A and B are shown apart, each in its own frame.
Chain A
């Protein structure tokens, strides 16, 4: 009952339980944070707009992205992953989400930023439905904690559209 092995067993179980509890409390403390992020995206230029050989439309565009995501960070935040996606509807697909650009924000100081960039990932449709297409640009963020539950949300910006003709 009081052997070394038994005491070691009890000690280890207790230590692991306390550790698990601390991780859970750290994660729960994230719920106390009420974030208020803001973002703005402007399309500066449509670089080109073509139909590919396989029949799918493709667009290359340059954007100005500015955002203030500092309120997302807590002491339990390891990084925030953000990405900008174009969302639109076509006759064949009720929803298309295409990620155009993403970045990792490692710390609160970097969370307020402004960037001028062309799309990092190809904006390709399933088909050739993009001429004159209206679409939303959404800025998504994914808060990855040091331990525990991950949170994700997004800001939807409407009112963007593509040209009527290829160029």
Chain B
């Protein structure tokens, strides 16, 4: 019952927010005290232009894990409307140029997966525990499997 309703909610969120992964878990402390490790962020991607102050989720070429930081600089071209964006974690002393790919000074629209619009505390810890201690994942799946086999319905 929990599993199917979770799946329905996940798919519905994907449709509503128009994004491939509408929910991310905060993994680092670079946005404290606002976002702590284990919080969940709800993402939304609209066609609105990217502006300073927005919290965006982006991928850097060569890194798999997306990063959630705040936009601190925006330069938008007159003719094409393309933007150069610089980000920084609230809790980091310096901006994100060190995190970008070699020679990259700015982010463009295609690097950005979505904006954070809402958040829930603590709920993401389940995912963090399952990723960092895979044994728990196997135990959970094993227990769920047992439940399915032994239930009388």
Q: Which residues of A contact B (CB under 8 A)?
A: 1, 3, 5-6, 9-10, 12-13, 16, 23, 27, 78-79, 81, 83, 85, 91-99, 102, 104, 106, 121, 126, 140, 142, 144-150, 152, 154
In the complex, the answer to whether B117 meets A149 with C-beta atoms within 8 Å is yes
Interface residues on B, range: 20 to 34
Q: How many Å from the CB of B144 to the closest CB on chain A?
A: 11
In the complex, the answer to whether A96 meets B75 with C-beta atoms within 8 Å is yes
The one of B5, B73, B77 in contact with A13, judged by C-beta atoms closer than 8 angstroms, is B5
- Taken together as a complex, chains A and B put the C-alpha atoms of A16 and B54 apart, in Å, by 30
Q: Which residues of A contact B76 (CB under 8 A)?
A: 93-96
In the complex, the answer to whether A144 meets B34 with C-beta atoms within 8 Å is yes
Given contacts A95-B74, A97-B74, A121-B72, contact A150 B117 (CB under 8 A): yes
Name the interface residues of B1-22: CB closer than 8 Å to any CB of A: 1-2, 5
In the complex, the answer to whether A91 meets B78 with C-beta atoms within 8 Å is yes
Report the tally of A-B residue pairs with Cβ distances under 8 A: 94
Q: How many Å from the CB of B104 to the closest CB on chain A?
A: 15
- Taken together as a complex, chains A and B put the C-alpha atoms of A13 and B6 apart, in Å, by 10
Q: Is B151 an interface residue (CB 8 A)?
A: yes
29 chain-A/chain-B pairs, Cβ below 8 angstroms: A5-B147, A5-B151, A12-B2, A13-B2, A79-B34, A81-B70, A81-B90, A83-B72, A85-B53, A92-B77, A92-B78, A93-B76, A93-B77, A94-B77, A94-B81, A95-B75, A95-B76, A96-B74, A96-B76, A99-B52, A104-B33, A104-B90, A106-B33, A140-B52, A148-B119, A150-B55, A150-B116, A150-B117, A152-B54
- Taken together as a complex, chains A and B put the C-alpha atoms of A81 and B89 apart, in Å, by 12
Q: Which residues of A contact B5 (CB under 8 A)?
A: 13
Q: Is B152 an interface residue (CB 8 A)?
A: yes
In the complex, the answer to whether B34 meets A81 with C-beta atoms within 8 Å is yes
- Taken together as a complex, chains A and B put the C-alpha atoms of A121 and B34 apart, in Å, by 20
Q: Is B29 an interface residue (CB 8 A)?
A: no
Listed from nearest, the 5 A-B pairs whose CB atoms lie closest are: A99-B72, A97-B52, A97-B74, A140-B53, A95-B76
